[in-house]
Structure 1
Amino acid sequence: MSWQSRIITLITPVKLSIAFLIIYFGVFLAFIARYDFNPTSLIRFGHYYIEQNEELTPSGAIRFHGNEANGGNGYDGQIFYYYARTMFIPGVWPDGFSNAYRAPRAGYPLIAGVFSIFGSHGVVAGMIASQFMLILAGILSIYYLLPDHKKYLSIFLLFSPFQLQSFLVLTSDSIVAGLILCGAAVFFARELGRSEKYAPLAWFPFALAVLTKESSLFFLFPFGLYVFFKKDWKRSFVVLCSLIPFFAWQFYLREAHGMIPAGVLKIFLSPLDGVIGTMKELFFYLATFSLKPSFL
């Protein structure tokens, strides 16, 4: 028996799930243990933003001080928290953030905001729980998508440092990955030799993924092209309709609140934009480089 065959027999959905819980729950406990097991530490509230949103902040939240000029050492998790906390409060937006930049990315706050019926701590729990559920769902989905002789490759997502880091700072990258993979597992049922009657259900995770982060379009665009060239109009319609909530939300923000999405968002839809920008800086540096001493 080859090493691949041995690994294939070892990797099962149940074992993947157990390994996931051991790794992620272990890391979760290890992190919050540094803060007396206070789960709000995972959100990384910056003192600068708490001062502006005291009434929205959970009682007893861990506050990070210092570097107030750049947000008081907080991180993106707090942004998603505050938007989730106000998601279902009419006319209320968190203070201190650029609504034009942050409000369009409503997917993660929308998911966590459902838990706001349990108050501020409910939102904290919702943010953490949604990470656990969608990361695990993504791992199981990619296992489902891979052919039998390559299912062992799903362990790379299980041990992905990028997924783990996204979980530890409660950002939306792991949420997007989970949603896209869950949708793909249903969307490509025909290619997997299974019934495609549930393919329209892919609309929901795809739509949430685009609402969460516009770079999800880099996945949906090739998905759409694939089914379009196959003249699969049913699935083409699913992809097209998944964009409706995103544009409807943008329209609502503009008409109801006068928010025009920040121009910086186009950066996330520009392939190789970061590489091009770095090369421009490098060439500029080389063009202006001089060996002549500055004091002459």
Structure 2
Amino acid sequence: MTEVFEEHRAVLLGVAYRMLGRVADAEDVVQEAWLRWSAADRAQVREPRGYLVRVTTRLAIDRLRQAQSRREAYVGTWLPEPLVTDFEATVAPSQQEGAERAVLAESVSLAVLVVLESLSPLERAVFVLREAFGFPYAEIARTLERSESAVRQLAGRARRHVAERKPRFEVDPGLQRDLTERFLKAALEGDLQGLVSVLAPDVRLVSDSGGGAKAPRRVILGADKVGRFLAAVAQEGVRDPAFDVHLLELNGGPGALATHGGRPDAVFSVDVADGLIQAIYLIRNPGKLTHLQGVGE
């Protein structure tokens, strides 16, 4: 029983996280799916993977509906909880390679998760199951207890919505990492010119503190304004001996974790296209960083 569940845990976590945008919520949903699985009459379950994905998706839809009302009262901009991506263990099945792996990485990016927030729970479920994991329409229809034609309509609406709003991405991981490293180096050295040189003219900085830490509540636009803000923040940190920065992979791309006295203080993640950083996501909400304790040490 346990071995069968563990075999599919990565897929379940991947579905739940893409549905909810929070690591803790995704883990809670998967734990509830385990309880349902342990109590089920498994002799009647012909396809464990389908059963477990079905249970996980329905639980995630219920939790997402509850969360949406709470997010309406959120202080400032809401961003998904950052995830340190280890595709072998956390986000995707280990057999996924090449183009499929790239799709999984993009579907877990902060930018795409932000766009998914604007979908209805059913549209989001269809998009995640179809576009990220490639489930057949018939299987999705059984999962959602909808007709296959209705699921195809939901998929079409969701796909068009995401395509209209999804930012462009640089597909070269080497270039992504190089730009991120240059960006961090310039910020930490207070090199405003070097910092601006890697930013797109219309770059956006989006921050999420949830009211629990100091961070801009409005989007900062433009290379000069974003560069000056980041240089000032970085220099303030550099002067503090308890401050440290760790480069790591977040949500399928390069990012950075800033710590203070060993505790997670802020996460930076970037979108790259046309050889420049197009958007920067700054997460300082303490409740979204606790799971990063010890990362980078």
TM range (shorter): under 0.3
TM-score by length of 1: 0.24
Larger Cα Rg: Structure 1 or Structure 2? 1
TM-score by length of 2: 0.24
Higher helix share goes to which structure?
A: 1
